Amino acid sequence: MEVKAVFFDIDGTLVNDSRTVLKSTEQAIQSLKEQGIFVGLATGRGPFFVQSFMKDLDLDFAVTYNGQYIFSKEKIISATPIDKSSLREIIDYAKKHKKEIALGTETDMVGSHIMRFGMSKFSQWSSRFVPKGFTRYISHGFNRVVSKALPQQKDDLLDISREPIYQVVMLATPEETQAMEEYFPDLKFTRSSPYAADIINGDTSKLQGIARVGKEYGFDINQVMAFGDSDNDLEMLSGVGMSIAMGNGTSKVKEVAKHTTTSNSQDGIHKALEHFGILASEKVFTSSDHHFNKVKEFHGVMDKKTQEEPIAWTPEGARHRAAFKLEELVEFLRASSSSEEEFDEAVAHLHDSLDKAATKVKGKNPAEISLVGQVDALIDTLYFTYGSFVLMGVDPERLFTIVHQANMGKIFPDGKAHFDPVTHKILKPDDWEEKYAPEPAIKEELERQIKAYEKNCGSKEKN
């Protein structure tokens, strides 16, 4: 797949356990933007919380409050508050069941003092050390103790609710959340904390928010890569084109995601982007040619090594590489033939051309292993290939990325490449055709280019 946009959850994903963004993540985001890839956030946090990330990392947009409030550097893209009647019902429910709640406005999270503490940096950090079996007791304890010491005033909450409220956070166990889902069928309940539930409109989510951004900026959900770690990321990770679970993520997240990387404190984001060839590995030299870097990442995974010092191909290796290219040339002729007879004629002509080329080269260059000679021939091959695209009127930029992602999809679940014992060709996982076969994406991209040309020509004719 071609990646046009990358979205990050914040807590447990973009930031590490010390609540900071790793240097490797900062470098990864900078590289994505240099490649023209959009970078955004998809979080349960409010817009006021993410402003510093937007500024410091130069992000393009943010899907906040789990899709309820979406904005870019330039404007508010979408703002969908919870309707007032539902808010009053939630507040009445909280009072009746003595539940601590906080209301998310555009500028703050207001209401429960303990809920504000629960969303603090210290609380998020300390929750990592609480065994999962104890979270329900802590939730019950907080509700009992705090409701007596600092009781919430219904009237205060109703006053706050007069302004737009985009999300309600309620201190509740997973079991209590299930009961509330039945009580409020038109609302959606998600969880990014072991202690609390996020309550939003039933027809919104991080995934729908990302789709809304894509509509605004010209990419679809299948061209999105997303990173997450919590259960409120499940819908997003199951719906985007490429989903990455952090190593510190929940078991449900890892089951849904297409790939699991290392944790948020172990360069997980950078390593995943390296794994899929979107970033060049720091262990090897990088080129200003992003296509070269992607192919180098592919060989790093497939061959478990890359060549860092310029060397010439051996005769045996050169024959293998030439055979690979020759097969692609035959496929090119096949795709240029309207019948079997025409294809056979084209192949015969190729044989004839090969014999003529051998005779020509014999009289031109001495038979010797030459790094300069090999590079000169390969650059000419590359130049001729670009020339073929030029004469076809096809832009290969996105097409290259599509093929690269398909090749990276040949990695098996064990994280390794598997090879045919006889031909030594790379084998494909059983689900490769379904998930990674490039032909449908190539067809879609070519159709896009044709439509763009027709639209451009039509506008010129009008002028």
Tens of pLDDT, residues 337-385: 999 999 999 999 999 999 999 999 999 888 999 999 999 999 999 999 9
Q: Report the range of poorest mean pLDDT among 23-27, 128-132, 244-248.
A: 128-132
Instruction: For residues 342 and 348, give the distance between their C-alpha atoms in angstroms, rounded to a whole number.
Output: 10
Q: Between 114 and 91, where is the model more confident? A: 91
pLDDT confidence of residue 453: 92
Mean pLDDT of 270-298: 80
Q: What is the CATH number of domain 289-458?
A: 1.10.3420.10
Give the per-residue pLDDT at 282. Answer: 52
Choosing among 3.40.50.920, 3.30.413.10, 1.10.8.60, 3.40.50.1000, the CATH entry for 3-78+203-274 is 3.40.50.1000
Chain region(s) in the chain for CATH 3.30.1240.10: 82-199
Q: Please, where in the chain does CATH 3.40.50.1000 lie?
A: 3-78+203-274
**pLDDT tens figures, 10-44:** 999 999 988 899 999 999 999 999 999 999 999 99
Report residue 202 CA to chain centroid gap. 25
Q: Where in the chain is the domain with CATH 1.10.3420.10?
A: 289-458
Contact 244, 259 (CB under 8 A): yes
Which CATH topology does 82-199 take? 3.30.1240
What is the reported pLDDT for 130? 43
Three-class SS of residue 141? helix
Say what the pLDDT of residue 125 is.
42
Q: Regarding predicted confidence, which is higher, 137 or 389?
A: 389
- Kindly provide the b/e burial profile for residues 187-207, where b requires at least 16 CB atoms within 10 angstroms of the residue's own CB: bbbbbbbbbbbbbbbeebbbb
User: Would the pLDDT of 145 be above 80?
Assistant: no
- pLDDT over 70, % of the chain: 88
pLDDT per residue over 82-103, tens digit each?
999 999 999 999 989 888 899 9
pLDDT of residue 280: 66
Cα 288–Cα 292–Cα 296 angle in degrees, nearest 5: 120
Residue type, 263: S
> What confidence score (pLDDT) does residue 423 get?
75
